[in-house]
Amino acid sequence: MNVLVTGAGGQLATELIRRAPGAAEVEALDIEQLDVTSSSRVRDCLESIRPAVVFNAAAWTDVDGAEANEDEALAVNRDGAAHLADACGEQGIRMVHVSTDFVFDGTSTRPCRIDDPTSPLGAYGRTKLAGEAAVLDRLGDAGLVVRTAWLYAAHGRNFLRTMLNVMSQRDHLKVVADQRGTPTSAASLATALWDLVAAGASGIHHWTDGGETTWHEFAVCIRDTGRAEGLLDHDVTIEAISTSDWPTPATRPAYSVLDTSVTEALLGRSPRPWSEEVRDVIGELAAAAAGESGA
Residues 138 and 20: their CA atoms lie apart, in Å, by 26
- Spot the catalytic one: 124, 150, 207, 255: 124
Q: Which residues of 103-135 are buried (b: 16+ CB within 10 A; e: fewer)?
A: bbbbebeebbebeeebebbbbbbbbbbbbbebb
Distance CA 106, CA 15 (A): 28
Q: How far apart are CA 33 and CA 218, in angstroms?
A: 35
Asked if 150 and 222 touch (Cβ cutoff 8 Å), the reply is no
124: annotated active-site residue: yes
Half-sphere exposure in the Cβ direction for 260 (13 Å, CA): 27
CA distances from 264 to 50, 90, 173, 267 (A): 31, 31, 36, 5
Greatest Cα-to-Cα distance within the chain, rounded to the nearest angstrom? 57
**Positions marked catalytic:** 124
